[in-house]
Amino acid sequence: MGHEVNITQDLGPQFTVAAASEQLTLEVGVKSSSLFSLVVNNPSSSDGIEVIAKTTIGAYKAVTQNGYICQPTLADVSNYAGITTVAYVLNDTMTAVRTGRLTEASWLWTPNTPIFIGVDGVLTQTVPSYPIRRIGWAVSATQINLDPYPIITGV
């Protein structure tokens, strides 16, 4: 039979990866994979999720479904709606883009590296402490592909 391994004894303390629940409204319809999506620079409501801004929010910020800037907390990353592409003020109807490619000439991403939600909704390539929510990756220095992964929590 197989050899049993006591992970704590043989390998030291380990993290347990647990799936976290995510609140998401699913739209029924035909959608192509984000791998083949066109560049989304001026999204329409069909390209993202419409959310009412509960505060002033800048362009290219991660936002929650309840209209706030997404923070790297379990509650916020569970309510992640998408990324803004323009700035909004209180009570504006925002379009948060969740999947597809975004291009911004001022970005300086490291290609083929994941992108995460950082403090104050800032997109970052620095892996945050738990919870971790990879929302996309850099295609080039100025282009990202949004394709959110499940949340990873350290237990």
Q: Looking at per-residue confidence, does 109 or 8 come out higher?
A: 109
For the full predicted model, state whether its pTM sits above 0.75. no
Query: Given its phi and psi angles, is residue 125 left (phi above 0), alpha (psi -120 to 50 degrees) or beta?
Result: alpha
Q: Looking at per-residue confidence, does 95 or 3 come out higher?
A: 95
CA distance from start to end of the chain: 31
Distance of CA 67 to the CA centre of its chain: 15
d(CA 91, CA 53): 5
Q: Determine contact, residues 39/101, Cβ cutoff 8 Å.
A: yes
pLDDT recorded at residue 136: 94
pLDDT recorded at residue 57: 92
Sheet holding 114-117, edge to edge: 100-103, 143-146, 134-140, 114-117, 123-124
Lowest-pLDDT range of 29-33, 62-66, 76-80, 111-115? 29-33
d(CA 58, CA 56): 7
Residue type for position 54: K
Place of tokens 């990879």: 134
Q: Determine contact, residues 121/63, Cβ cutoff 8 Å.
A: yes
- Over the stretch 24-63, which tens digit does the pLDDT of each residue have? 444 444 343 333 333 444 443 346 789 899 999 999 999 9
Lowest-pLDDT range of 32-46, 92-106, 113-127? 32-46
What average pLDDT score do residues 65-82 get?
A: 90
